[in-house]
Structure 1
């Protein structure tokens, strides 16, 4: 509903402004043509007029002694009086003779609202009479004039005193009363239309700003306000709208307001055309120009009006050139919606060029040219309404595109497929399947390529698969553009197969998909010998909701990886397993929350003294309904479902709580060993959280051992290495667990800052019955001792195993020979049964470590 209201308001605003602009053009065309005709007839048809002028550059002559300089006056026409951008006084002598036999009513009018002095003195009998103007009245400020009544064949003379340090052009018009009235009416209509459109646009942009929080609308409001104040001063209507003081301030700072106008215009251009989104060199140059304009505004405040105008009219063309360059560059960059903005610049440039040319006496005066800038702004603002509305429409369209398509690749998102499935279900479409196509080993391949290469690969495969399905009616389009494939999870394609029109056997379709993927699995011109794995979930058998069909198709894809044909249908037994695993996940989370997990302790024994020196904490879960669930079942679930960090922190907290009890209540001073995975220690917040738990526990850090697993996953991770070093600096012993298994090897971990190495049980159990194990264990212990490490042997199950490991120089033993893992209460009882903390009678003599 919000979108409908938004588009309706935009359409209404366009229609309203278009109506105003159209009506304005019709009325103005009619009135201006009449005005032009009347102006051309006056005064030659009814009067004979003679003009002379003289310029007092010193501004010291007044009406009392001007007649002494009458001989210096030069014959001229009003258009030829050399008004200039200087502070000087112009004296103009006007002789008017009524050539008609009837009475004539005329108006002597100076069409410049920024005159500092405009006085008209009648001359009778070579004597200057009293000034006739009423310049103190607002109407006479806007329209400096006097009314003249001429009887038949009568002749009158008037001396005009004109002075201005503003715009130098002072058109002197002798026109009929009707022409003057039409002039006033047209000017008032133009200014009224300008105010109406400007206020409407200000309110319109204000509403848009509060709606979308885009600062471009504020810049345009600033531009409109600047234009409003400038036109109020130039047209003189400021004397009606504002009090004298405020109007004098506007006149005083008219040129700085012009600077402000072009500043807002440049800012608006930058943000309207979205240069701020790219932060390019062009944007930075334009911003620099904007700040230079700000500096120029303050710098010109110290200058007089003549100097201010000179500076501004020198800078203005450069700013306009920059703005036009920004516009053209953006349009060439395929920003097609900027066409309305381009159109709005055409009247603005014409008006901006004509207005100063008229004011500086470069172009002849007429009503059209004198109001060119006002007319241009009205046209520009009207067109800008369309530009802003079009920009808003495109922004909404871009948001929809961002939601529906991946920005980097332009491939449809999963939401398109979900919408399509929901529509099919609502339409009672009852026989279709969701098909997932996953490039083989894509997760592993992604580790060796960057994001750009990965995106290029999927764009390439998307294009080829789209061509394959283009004329296949069995593949249902999922977007309005008839696209049939979407990208999900950044690793898979998904599509919908319509079984009503599917005449091709599934095997043939899958083989053609796999062939296309295999032929186009190229990365930087390297062709990989890989194909695609495909999973299928059918409606409604495998699910009646979009998310169920997608998830089960993904599960089928995972099963297909172990299938010879590399494709698989979703199966019900997989469904049962999935539900079971989700249930276990929920129960595990609840077990963490309720502290129903358990920690078992297995002692570690110093092989020299046979004293218990530490214990390894092992996690156990006794499920209320399922019974005992081994760690190799629930730990992978915790990792896949994002619970592993919660599990680890629970273990650390409980292990240190146990350790505190053993120390405080029983006086045991040995260490506690806690398993930490590579995923845990690589986590951003692991160190801070672990240190908080250690500090709260009251256990000294030198009584803690962290046994690290999956060491290969973090040997090249700088963050993890820093964490390990910080833990070591705090006194925590770092141990490498399960050495010799998986990816853990001496070459992988030789540069890690650890103090203890743990030999896995598979190299220790029954070591004397297997020569290979014997050799491996001996070599491992000797290498570790050579590096100055303490060695722990896990899996000692007999006295013979113990003796052999001691002979090799192993420091610590652990295994069923000493004790099995036990709950805390059993472990306490076991410890108290020991004699002086020893598991059995120690060996006599001094312990000699193995030679290095």
Structure 2
């Protein structure tokens, strides 16, 4: 039924459009017939015979008196064959009129050219040529149509000599019409010009409103084009005398060709801006600007030339500009025709009118009412089509704006706003039962360390297509957009959809398994298939929230929880929300503790395994919460990373550690090194090096006494900025160490081409190294490979004499662990340094590290 109603609606709309087009076509056809009738007065031609002859005076030397002696030299011709040319010549016409009837004929002799410099009519009588011209009525209409009223008695013949001279358009159609037909012609031309002025005014106001609404300069440029087109046509048709004062119109006529340049400049500039070359193709836009600048220069140069030279220069440049504008249009058509179709169509009448009317004015085409006004008709058609084009552009602009809101620009995938709007619509309806489900590729945050934005976009576009195919015939999954897309892209790392629980015929577990299978088969980066699946979280309305942000956030929290399970998916549990709120609260308190210096630095010594002396201390951050008590770094460091506090936190640790190192050195004489932990997110900061340099300079601690222990080393290998920063730190003298080697993403092949000087073997492979043969082999191999690369090796997690002996045997340089000391605050560390315990002092052996004892 709905399909039938849609067909009927489409039929009615089509019928209405056809009816309107038929009316418009009928009006235009009738106007064409009227124009055809007024082109030639057939009644006057039958009743009054006309004979033409001409004489060209190229040097303007003849006077009317001298011409009386030259009458036999006139050449007989038909009106359309008079050889008008673009020059300063004077054309003399001999016109003989004969009344073939027995009645008085009232006629009008006129020239269809309002830019004449000279138009004089001299009667030829039986006594000879009259030496003074007939005087016409001095009026606006006479300036518009130079003419004179004549009367011919029955069977009377009269001959006239016409003196015509112009530096403007050379073609001067001279006509003889019945008085009534002449006034009809004036009426029609006034109606046409009035319609043109009305269209121009409406379009100018319309575009002015659009400019103030949208602030797009293309609308102001178009208004400039309309104004220049109006001035040009007002001069060409002479109708400017109807709207401007005589002196103003005379001034416009004088500088008509100068204005013509700016008509072309505005048209070219409008083309560049309308087709958005200023936004999308800077090179082409620059060429277009150079064209416009060149035209401005030519317009100023033309002011130094006479009218004939100006005309030749302009008409030689105009085709070049039109060809360049057509190139701009055709180039844009190759990309997208739909939004520019009306603008392209507007060029057809413009080019036709721009070609026809100059050819008529230059006497290369036959004169007619339609061809003589071709440019006026063309501009009217063009302005009308451009009104559609601007409306379409504005519609497309609005569509693009909405698309930017609802779709990601880079990927083209639906944004989060689509699902938020849809959830809000569903929640208004009664008895709704649906589940919001988030799908995130497993370990995508780690994978992101190796790929750029385009690869990440390609990955999610591929997953979007595959999951869309999986959901295509599943009616239980809601379409979220006008395009019936069922997935949205959120947080730059997840896809999300809504499941209608009432329509769903399969278990949630089955659906999740099928999604994970699709992700597993299509989780590829740079054509490398990764053996990973998907992490999925679900939140149900209304149990887990009634607002869109609640359901989406709870589904994300569920996915985070599911990542730590074997099945890799979970349904939201309110307890996890409480935990999330706790972490959020803790974030604010951590920031406050940082700002109020309520955090502490603890030192854990590092021992040279050859000299058994303290060679360094690792500075560790500790937080003693006033209410919660001790909060371990494993809790608050991830919070700092997720909430963007890690950079500020690291810089605070560096500053405090170096300040305490200065106390150890200057007050107590302990000159060993200080080791500070740095994260991958610190290295990614473009200001980190300068900030570190400022802190080091202020501390007076030599850079060669500082060790930076870096984590997430895999991310550095593919990050040019990180590599450059590490190299700058190394050049400064800072020792760069790889922390926790053997876990995470650090590999020996990556380390071999990274600028590190020290490697730290993770405690997992050091603690009780003698109790597990596999662990022992891994530790020994790691140490030997690192030594082979010329790296110092630190073993953390030494808890016994046996651990120390084994690591020393492997070739390890430095030891760290509870066998020597637990992390201590500064005062306890100073006491420890004064009273080394556990019998750690032996006879010193010459080593490469400076001992902790006073010098």
TM-score bracket, shorter-length normalisation: 0.7 to 0.9
Q: Secondary structure at the match of 1:715?
A: helix
- Rate the CA distance shift 1:792–1:26 in 2: closer, same or farther, 3 A: closer
Q: Does 1:475 align with 2:477?
A: yes
8 A Cα contact 1:106 1:149, kept in partner: yes
The separation in 2 between residues aligned to 1:238 and 1:760, in whole angstroms, is 91
**Structure 2 runs not aligned, ≥5 long:** 1-18, 850-855
For residue 75 of structure 1, what is the aligned residue in structure 2?
76
> CA 1:61/1:513 → structure 2, altered by over 3 Å: closer, same or farther?
same
Per-residue displacement from partner, 1:27-78 (whole Å, max 9, x unpaired)?
Answer: 9956982883594146435544443221101211122322122221122343
Match of 1:677 among 676, 679, 692: 679
Deviation at 1:282, TM superposition (A): 7.9
Q: Note the alpha carbon deviations across 1:676-730, whole angstroms, 9 max, x for none.
A: 1233223222112222333344444344332223333313433222212222222
Partners in 1 of 2:543 and 2:192 — Cα distance? 72
Equivalent-residue separation in structure 2 for 1:198 and 1:317 (angstroms): 25
Aligned to 2:168: 166
| Residue 31 (structure 2) pairs with residue 33 (structure 1) | no
For the residues of structure 1 that align with 2:420 and 2:458, how far apart are their CA atoms? 25
Work out whether residues 450 and 715 of structure 2, in 8 Å CA contact, stay in contact via their aligned partners in 1.
no
- The answer to whether structure 1 residue 689 and structure 2 residue 691 are counterparts is yes
Matches within 5 A, 1:53-132: 53-98=54-99, 103-124=104-125, 125-132=127-134
Decide which of 611, 631, 641 is 1:629's aligned counterpart. 631
3-state SS of 1:714 partner: helix
Does the aligned pair in 1 maintain the 2:65–2:131 contact within 8 Å?
no
Shift of 1:228: 1.5
Distance of 2:772 and 2:531 partners within structure 1: 41
The 8 Å contact of residues 611 and 846 in structure 2, kept in 1 or not, is answered as no
Give the 3 Å change call, closer, same or farther, for CA 319–771 of structure 1 in structure 2: closer
Aligned match of 1:705 in 696, 704, 707? 707
Within-5 A mapping of 1:18-29: none
Match of 2:721 among 693, 712, 719: 719
Structure 1 window deviating more from structure 2 (154-163 vs 673-682): it is 154-163
Partner Cα distance (1:468, 1:802) in 2 = 58
Question: 1:419 aligns to what?
Answer: 421
Q: Determine the structure 2 residue equivalent to 1:4.
A: none
Aligned partner of 1:655 in structure 2 is 657
Rounded Cα–Cα distance in structure 2 between residues aligned with 1:596 and 1:645: 17
- TM superposition shift of 1:234: 0.7
Partner of 1:547: 549
Q: Deviations over 1:311-354 (max 9, x none)?
A: 55455456556655655665565532434334433433432333
Task: Give how far 1:90 is off.
Answer: 0.4
Q: Deviations over 1:374-406 (max 9, x none)?
A: 122122212221221122112212222232234
Residue 394 of structure 2, aligned match among 392, 412, 417: 392
Matches of 2:806 and 2:437, distance apart in 1: 58
Cα 1:327–1:744 change in 2 (3 A) is closer
Aligned counterparts of 2:28 and 2:848: Cα–Cα separation in 1: 113
Flag the 1:439–1:149 CA change in 2: closer, same or farther, 3 A.
Answer: same
Distance 1:798 1:410, change over 3 A: closer
Name 1:487's counterpart in structure 2: 489
Q: Per-residue displacement from partner, 1:548-585 (whole Å, max 9, x unpaired)?
A: 21222233334444555554322233333333333323
2:358 paired residue number: 356
Larger mean CA deviation between 127-136 and 56-65 belongs to 127-136
What whole-Å deviation, never above 9, does each CA across 1:230-277 have from its counterpart, x for those lacking one?
A: 112212234455567764554344345434434433443344344555
Identify if the C-alpha distance between structure 1 residues 764 and 520 changes in structure 2 by more than 3 Å, giving closer, same or farther: closer
Residue 599 of structure 1 corresponds to 601
Alpha-carbon distance in 2 for matches of 1:848, 1:386: 83
**Tell me, what secondary structure is at the counterpart of 2:401?**
helix
- Describe how 1:436-451 pairs up with structure 2 within 5 A: 436-439=438-441
Q: Relative to structure 2, which stretch is displaced further, 631-640 or 28-37?
A: 28-37
Greater Cα offset, 570-579 or 808-817? 808-817
The alignment yields a C-alpha RMSD, in angstroms, of: 4.2
Moved more, 718-727 or 286-295: 286-295
Deviation, structure 1 residue 112: 0.6
Question: 1:130 and 1:342, CA in 2 relative to 1: closer, same or farther beyond 3 A?
Answer: same
C-alpha distance in structure 1 between counterparts of 2:831 and 2:446, whole Å = 49
> Secondary structure of 1:386's match?
helix
Q: Secondary structure at the match of 2:717?
A: coil
Matches within 5 A, 1:422-821: 422-439=424-441, 458-459=460-461, 461-463=463-465, 465-514=467-516, 532-561=534-563, 563=565, 565-604=567-606, 612-663=614-665, 665-666=667-668, 668-744=670-746, 746-761=748-763, 792-795=794-797, 813-821=815-823
Provide the TM-score with structure 2 as the length reference: 0.84
Contact conserved, 1:31 with 1:182, CA < 8 A, in 2? no
Residue 484 and residue 739 in structure 1: after superposition, are their counterparts in 2 closer, same or farther (change >3 A)? closer
- What displacement does 1:172 show? 0.9
Q: What is the CA–CA distance in structure 2 between the aligned matches of 1:706 and 1:471, rounded to whole Å?
A: 55
Q: Match of 2:64, SS? A: coil
Q: Distance in 2 between matches of 1:815 and 1:841?
A: 17
Q: How far does the alpha carbon of each residue in 1:501-520 deviate from its partner, in whole angstroms, 9 at most, with x for none? A: 33433344444545555666
Describe the shift of the 1:306–1:135 C-alpha distance in structure 2 as closer, same or farther (beyond 3 A).
Answer: farther
Deviation string, structure 1 residues 531-555 (Cα, Å, up to 9, x no partner): 5543321111122221221222233
Task: Please give the residue correspondences for 1:357-376 in structure 2 after superposition, counting only pairs within 5 Å.
Answer: 357-376=359-378
Deviation at 1:770, TM superposition (A): 7.7
Distance 1:182 1:644 in 2: 86
Structure-2 residue corresponding to 1:13: none
Deviations 1:467-517 (A, max 9, x none): 544444322332234433323334433222222333433344444545555
Conserved 8 A contact 2:35-2:370: no
CA gap 1:725/1:157 in 2 versus in 1, 3 angstroms: same
Could you say if the C-alpha distance between residues 31 and 676 of structure 1 is closer, same or farther in structure 2, counting changes exceeding 3 Å? closer
Structure 1 equivalent of residue 5 of structure 2: none
Which stretch of the first structure deviates more once superposed, 523-532 or 625-634?
A: 523-532
3-state SS, counterpart of residue 692 of structure 2: helix
Take 2:401 and 2:49, find their aligned partners in 1: how far apart are those partners? 70
Residue pairs, 1:19-418, within 5 angstroms: 33=34, 36-37=37-38, 39-41=40-42, 43-98=44-99, 103-124=104-125, 125-133=127-135, 139-150=141-152, 156-239=158-241, 241-242=243-244, 247=249, 250-275=252-277, 277-279=279-281, 297=299, 304-310=306-312, 312-313=314-315, 316=318, 320=322, 323=325, 327=329, 330=332, 333=335, 335-407=337-409, 410-418=412-420
Return closer, same or farther for 1:509/1:733 CA change in 2, 3 Å cut-off: closer
- Cα distance, 1:282–1:677 mapped onto 2, change above 3 Å: closer
CA gap 1:753/1:402 in 2 versus in 1, 3 angstroms: closer
Q: Distance in 1 between matches of 2:596 and 2:113?
A: 87
Q: 1 CA distance for matches of 2:513 and 2:844?
A: 74
Distance (Å, rounded) in 1 between the aligned partners of 2:400 and 2:617: 60
5+ residue gaps, structure 1 = 1-17
- Change over 3 Å in CA distance of 1:603–1:407 after alignment to 2: closer
Which segment is superposed worse, 29-38 or 629-638?
29-38
Q: 1:794 to 1:44 in 2, by over 3 A?
A: closer
After TM superposition, the structure 1 stretch with the greater mean CA deviation from structure 2, 775-784 or 401-410, is: 775-784
Give the equivalent residue in structure 2 for 1:843. 843
Distance 1:235 1:848, change over 3 A: closer
**Does 273-282 or 591-600 show the bigger shift?**
273-282
